Amino acid sequence: MKWTAAKIKTLKGERKIAVLTAYDALTASLVDGAEIPMVLVGDSLGMTVLGYETTLPVSMDEMLHHTAAVSRGVEHALVIADMPFMSFQPSIEMGLQNAGRFIKEAGADAVKIEGGTVRTELIEALVDNGIPVLGHIGLTPQSIKAMGGYKVQGKTSEQARQLMDDAMAVEQAGAFALVLECMPAELGEMISNALTIPTIGIGAGAGCDGQVLVFTDLLGFSTKPAPKFVKKYADLNPLIVEALAAYKAEVESGAFPADEQTY
Ligand code: KIV
């Protein structure tokens, strides 16, 4: 069974939704193998696999390349392409064209757009043209320069009210689900209760309808300190480095290749 945006919507109140990022066919097939219903090709790929400091330099070409690879690796999960910085902000027309490229050229099933009330016109245009949209509010890393850093959002009552208004506006515009990033758990729960579409939290507490994590964070690929909201389900970095060092040692000692690896 292939997941659709419409089917994901029906999960609200039925069961919690696990979402994970993936960046290539290999990682996508692992996510699909775990029967995770939604795979997000996040622009976090800029930092996790392309070596950028932030998500801001990520280009459409890079996102298309990785989204196409993820689509090839997935049989069941809904593939969501993250619209990178400046691929939709300049105009509705540009947003429509770039979202269309993710569907036509990269096999995506939906796109993710950062921003609340300010993006409702674009979300409406995309939905009217048959492109399902996952919204994203709270800490939106493409606005990191304006936000002044990776900070918890919605801590004052005024900010919380604005985030609630943003959430309602994104739902009203036709998004099928909404990512809530880095906000107090009480606000995450209040927004989740107020909406009829599922909320997918990342650092927004257990009251959300689902959760999303970054593939490389969950598996402990990096030695860099992870944000508080990350839970490492494995610590692969030392295991991988140990295996690679063992390979190097055996090449250097002549122990590899042995008879079993020799024709
Ligand atoms: O880019 C990304 O991976 C994301 C998720 C963490 C929500 O936006």
Beta bridge partners of 136: 114, 179
> Measured in angstroms, how far is the CA atom of residue 242 from the centroid of ligand 1?
29
Q: What is the pLDDT of residues 205-256, one digit of tens each?
A: 999 999 999 999 999 999 989 999 999 999 999 999 999 999 999 999 999 9
* pLDDT score recorded for residue 76: 98
- Report, as an integer, the average pLDDT of 156-173: 98
* pLDDT score recorded for residue 28: 98
Of residues 39, 40, 36, the one with CA closest to residue 17: 36
Contacts by 21-24, CB closer than 8 A, 24 or more apart: 21/45, 21/48, 21/212, 21/213, 21/214, 21/215, 22/70, 22/73, 22/74, 22/215, 23/48, 23/49, 23/66, 23/69, 23/70, 23/215, 24/49, 24/66, 24/69, 24/70, 24/73
Of residues 58, 140, 66, 130, the one with CA closest to residue 99: 130
**Other C-beta atoms lying within 10 Å of the C-beta of residue 115:** 20
64 pLDDT tier (thresholds 50, 70, 90): very high
* pLDDT score recorded for residue 115: 98
Find out whether the beta carbon of 213 lies less than 6 Å from any atom of ligand 1. no
CA-CA distance, 23 to 55, in Å (whole number)?
14
* pLDDT score recorded for residue 103: 98
CA-CA distance, 169 to 210, in Å (whole number)?
20
> Measured in angstroms, how far is the CA atom of residue 148 from the centroid of ligand 1?
18
Which residue, by CA, sits nearest to atom 4 of ligand 1? Answer: 42
Find out whether the beta carbon of 38 lies less than 6 Å from any atom of ligand 1. no
Ligand 1 atom, smallest distance to 48 CA: 3
